[in-house]
Structure 1
């Protein structure tokens, strides 16, 4: 990961905002570093002063570089603000995450920041937190079916789905980058992928994307030759790159191989899935770049391996969610609760977890194409030019 440079920047951003009161293998893959992170039930030791109290931070996995970045950015920012931090990664194992949160409560955490693996699997832990008077901040993924979720920090996930679909339409030439229709009517063969069904965000991404694509599907501009157009058919459990690669290979074998049909584009909601999809396409004879006719594949999270593929015109686009801002907002909300006040919400209507509408703070995201990598990612300090050129984080 980006290590000290990234986390120091995140911590600085977090502190500034608080003071203002506001994997797998395949195409473009890299061996991810877990230096300084935790695995299983191992906890991190904070060297920061602890006068602010203990905050438990539960992250889902280390198989995605973005979750390593999120966890370490939240930890660095909280420590900079004077808190002791217990950061845990659960390696996508639901019982492990439950045990980690239980232990945080036992150890005296005064607040919890949780990015859930399964948004429905932490009811008993949240009950225990509520009984102990511990505020719970749901981080990026909404925790469902519990009244004991105090606040939610995330991006506008429906809009992220809209952006994913928009980038696909741009890649196909149906829209220009300003969102205007070009007059191109296709038909274009597309295949659809969705995220993990136990992640509440996956439904928001899917709904935003499909509602954007639906007029073009109805008009015949887009066609899904596999016929797999339902969320349940498109969903990839745990967002696994290898699972996406296998599904794409199965679709190619069942629908395209031996016919005169070719894939023109793929809706993918996450860069790891995108790399698996691209690998499947390459293994089945698709070559070259998007400019040469390689299928336009969308993505999300601006992972460095995929940013490199975008710069090389192999993956067409991704969605940049600046997780430094997300970490900073989680820290701001935590400080508000621990200081006896309520954090500021900018959405109090849309995020119903099945029991209550959770007050939320939504952040904005951006579409990354090859021609705006520099302005969005390099100039902001998210990645360096050298990292983009190599596809490997420093």
Structure 2
């Protein structure tokens, strides 16, 4: 009942939000690394004025290799255009120097605000300083910008909460308390996010705060012994690297015993692990629990078919909306809504943040959370 209520409220909120932000320009993606600039439209803000008329927002996204970043860019672009802003949207394809160059160009174009989802959260300090000198405010989008005082705000999900939700799902659906009481155990391996992404560290912390006691008492057994962040992190969130890791684990440690749980921090890792499992001969009879993050379309299809157990639903429409309100407030000289002023210390300052709430999605609730809210259509999931 609680999940149904959450889904209903989410659907109502998003319906109202998208109606208010509708009517923007097209959302066709630019070619890899290319620039897409759309002239300001004639849409008006809630007060009847062209909120963004004559203003330009630069959006620097990390990659188009992941569905979620394409959606993030498209959602922000559409909502900003609906407010009358011109939008420069670029993807760096996981190339740090390309992203530096893209942002330098945006600074040279004298955009009025920068939204940055970094390829490497600590590698942009020089260009961020250039933006600050030019008087251009920066909003970090879903990846905290590290070691800089040039960032004004941060829009993200509760990243530690993502890890907590993944771990709590494992505890509940594997009934680890009952296993502990019966002296039983499950094998588990970890596939964590990129070491240059602060979110990945927080997610790992959320997972381990919940699961470490079960590792300590033997209810969970990691046969590789790889449980630290350094041992489990995967640079640039690489699906291919996750697949290689899983192949090595299965051949080196699980030749005579099944792997029960794959604690994956990203849907892309889940895809790689699926390929490794199929190559190793796993079937429905011994298929492990596989977690994920982002509730991508392919991941949702895999959840329906049983090839992935769950994912974390992070509504990119909602996150884009919150970031757009930050942009609009900063450009118009007002204070945006924030709900966290303590958590996100980037090494130089604590960045004021707005954190959206992540939700666990699986075969039992994907219809409510993803379809009924309009995030995906039944036709998309049936393709």
TM-score by length of 1: 0.86
Q: Is 1:322 aligned to residue 315 of structure 2?
A: yes
Of 259, 267, 282, which residue of structure 1 is paired with 2:263? 267
User: Within 5 Å, which residues of 2 pair with 1:320-359?
Assistant: 320-359=313-352
Alpha-carbon distance between aligned partners in 2 of 1:184 and 1:342, rounded to the nearest angstrom: 54
Tell me: CA distance 1:184–1:315, structure 2 relative to 1, closer, same or farther (3 Å).
farther
Listed one character per residue, the Cα deviations across residues 274-311 of structure 1 (whole Å, up to 9, x for unaligned) are 110111011101111xxx33100100000011101111
Q: Is 1:62 aligned to residue 58 of structure 2?
A: no
- 5+ long unaligned stretches in structure 2: 1-12, 42-51
Q: Is 1:281 aligned to residue 277 of structure 2?
A: yes
- State the match for 1:36 in structure 2: 28
Q: Is 1:210 aligned to residue 208 of structure 2?
A: yes
- State the match for 1:244 in structure 2: 242
For these two proteins, the number of residue pairs brought into alignment is 357
Measured after TM superposition, the shift of residue 193 of structure 1 is: 1.0
Measured after TM superposition, the shift of residue 48 of structure 1 is: 3.2
- State the match for 1:23 in structure 2: none
- 5+ long unaligned stretches in structure 1: 1-8, 19-34
SS at match of 2:88: strand
Measured after TM superposition, the shift of residue 218 of structure 1 is: 1.3
Runs of 4+ in 1 over 3 A off after TM superposition: 9-12, 14-18, 180-185
Measured after TM superposition, the shift of residue 181 of structure 1 is: 8.8
8 Å Cα contact 2:179/2:185 also seen in 1 = no
Listed one character per residue, the Cα deviations across residues 309-351 of structure 1 (whole Å, up to 9, x for unaligned) are 1111221100000110100001000000111112121100010
Alpha-carbon distance between aligned partners in 2 of 1:270 and 1:185, rounded to the nearest angstrom: 31
- State the match for 1:45 in structure 2: 37
Alpha-carbon distance between aligned partners in 2 of 1:222 and 1:69, rounded to the nearest angstrom: 36
- State the match for 1:151 in structure 2: 153
Alpha-carbon distance between aligned partners in 1 of 2:58 and 2:33, rounded to the nearest angstrom: 13
Measured after TM superposition, the shift of residue 93 of structure 1 is: 0.3
Q: Is 1:362 aligned to residue 355 of structure 2?
A: yes
Tell me: CA distance 1:135–1:294, structure 2 relative to 1, closer, same or farther (3 Å).
same
Alpha-carbon distance between aligned partners in 1 of 2:58 and 2:124, rounded to the nearest angstrom: 14
- State the match for 2:116 in structure 1: 114
Higher relative contact order structure (alpha carbons within 8 Å, sequence separation ≥ 6): 1
SS at match of 1:85: strand
Tell me: CA distance 1:46–1:184, structure 2 relative to 1, closer, same or farther (3 Å).
farther
Tell me: CA distance 1:14–1:359, structure 2 relative to 1, closer, same or farther (3 Å).
farther
Measured after TM superposition, the shift of residue 15 of structure 1 is: 7.3
